[in-house]
A = this chain, B = another copy of it.
Amino acid sequence: MPTQTSPGTGTTEAAKRARVAATALATVTRAAKDAALHAMADALVARTPEILTANEADLTAGRENGLSAAILDRLALTEERVAGIADALRQMAALADPVGEVVRGGTLPNGLELRQIRVPFGVVGIIYEGRPNVTVDAAGICLKSGNAALLRGSSSAIHSNTALVAVLRDAVAGAGLPADAVQLLDASSRDSVKELMRARGLVDVLIPRGGASLIQAVVEESTVPVIETGVGNCHVYVDAAADLDKALAIVLNSKTQRLSTCNTAESLLVHADVAEAFLPRVLAALHEAGVTVHGSPEVAAYSADVVPATEDDFGTEYLSADISAAVVDSLDAAVAHISRYGTQHTEAIVTESVTAAREFVARIDSAAVMVNASTRFTDGGEFGFGAEIGISTQKLHARGPMGLPELTSTKYVVTGDGHLRS
Point out residues on A near B: beta carbons under 8 Å. 1-2, 4, 23, 26-27, 106, 108-109, 112, 114, 116, 119, 121-122, 200, 204-205, 219-220, 223, 225, 227, 243, 245-246, 249-250, 253, 257, 315, 339-340, 343-344, 357, 361-374, 376-379, 382-384, 394-397, 399-401, 409-422
Contact = CB atoms under 8 A, between A and B. Distances in A.
15 contacts: A23-B363, A27-B363, A112-B377, A225-B394, A245-B418, A249-B418, A369-B412, A371-B416, A373-B414, A373-B418, A373-B419, A377-B414, A396-B396, A399-B410, A400-B412
Which 4 A-B residue pairs are closest in the complex by CB-CB distance?
A373-B416, A395-B409, A246-B418, A376-B421
Contacts of A106: 384
A265 B225 CA distance: 27
Contacts of A26: 362-363, 365
A409 B396 contact: yes
Contacts of A364: 411
A242 to B, nearest CB: 11
Given A257-B420, A399-B411, A220 B223 contact: yes
A108 B383 contact: yes
| Stoichiometry, copies per complex | 2
A402 to B, nearest CB: 12
B122 A365 contact: yes
A373 B415 contact: yes
Nearest to A416: B373
Contact of A362 (B27, B371, B421): B27
Nearest to A376: B421
Given A106-B384, A250-B420, A415 B368 contact: no
